[in-house]
C-alpha cells in the first residue's frame, strides 16, 4: 500500500538519490540511465511525486505531504527545501544545456 503521509516525529529526512545505469529490457527497449530516490516509508518525497498538488516535487518540497508541518528546513518560505536548493539549481542548469 502506498503511503502518502510523512510522520515528522520519526522522519529520517529526504531519501538518498540512486543512479540507475542504462539497461536493455527483454523486449529490446533501451532505457537511459536516470536518478531515483531510495525506498523509504512514503512516496510523498519521491523525485516525481507531488501528492499535495503544490507544484513542487516531493523530493524538493519542504512539506511534501501537505500537512503544513515541514519535514525539512525552508528558511526563505518558498516551499522548497533549502538543503536541496543547490541540487535543484544544478538540475536546472543541466536541463538548460540539454534543451
What is the per-residue pLDDT for 81? 82
Q: Give residue 33's domain range.
A: 17-98
Locate 27 and state its grid cell. Answer: 523486449
* Burial status of residue 60 (CB atoms within 10 A of its CB: 0-12, 13-18, 19 or more): buried
Instruction: Note the pLDDT tens digit of each residue in 56-78.
Output: 999 999 999 999 998 988 877 88
3-state secondary structure of 61: strand
Per-residue pLDDT band for 96 (boundaries 50, 70, 90) equals: confident
Cα gap 53→23, rounded to integer Å: 32
Q: Is residue 54 part of a domain?
A: yes
Q: Is residue 10 part of a domain?
A: no
Q: Is residue 26 part of a domain?
A: yes
Per-residue pLDDT band for 2 (boundaries 50, 70, 90) equals: confident
3-state secondary structure of 90: helix
Q: Is residue 42 part of a domain?
A: yes
Q: Is residue 11 part of a domain?
A: no
Per-residue pLDDT band for 95 (boundaries 50, 70, 90) equals: confident
Q: Is residue 38 part of a domain?
A: yes
Number of structural domains (the chain) is 1
The dihedral through the CA atoms of 88, 47, 18, 15 has a sign that is positive
Nearest to 87 by CA among 12, 42, 35, 52: 35
Q: Is residue 53 part of a domain?
A: yes
Q: Is residue 86 part of a domain?
A: yes
Locate 12 and state its grid cell. Answer: 529520517
Instruction: Note the pLDDT tens digit of each residue in 13-50.
Output: 899 999 999 999 999 999 999 999 999 999 999 999 99
Amino acid at each position: 500500500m502506498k503511503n502518502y503521509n510523512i510522520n515528522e516525529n520519526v522522519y529520517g529526512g529526504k531519501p538518498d538519490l540512486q543512479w540507475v545505469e542504462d539497461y536493455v529490457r527483454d523486449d529490446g527497449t533501451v532505457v537511459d540511465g536516470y536518478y531515483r530516490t531510495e525506498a523509504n516509508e512514503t512516496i510523498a518525497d519521491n523525485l516525481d511525486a507531488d501528492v499535495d498538488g503544490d507544484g513542487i516535487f516531493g523530493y524538493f518540497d519542504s512539506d511534501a505531504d501537505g500537512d503544513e508541518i515541514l519535514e525539512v528546513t525552508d528558511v526563505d518560505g518558498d516551499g522548497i527545501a533549502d538543503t536541496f536548493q543547490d541540487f535543484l539549481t544544478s538540475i536546472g542548469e543541466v536541463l538548460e544545456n540539454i534543451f
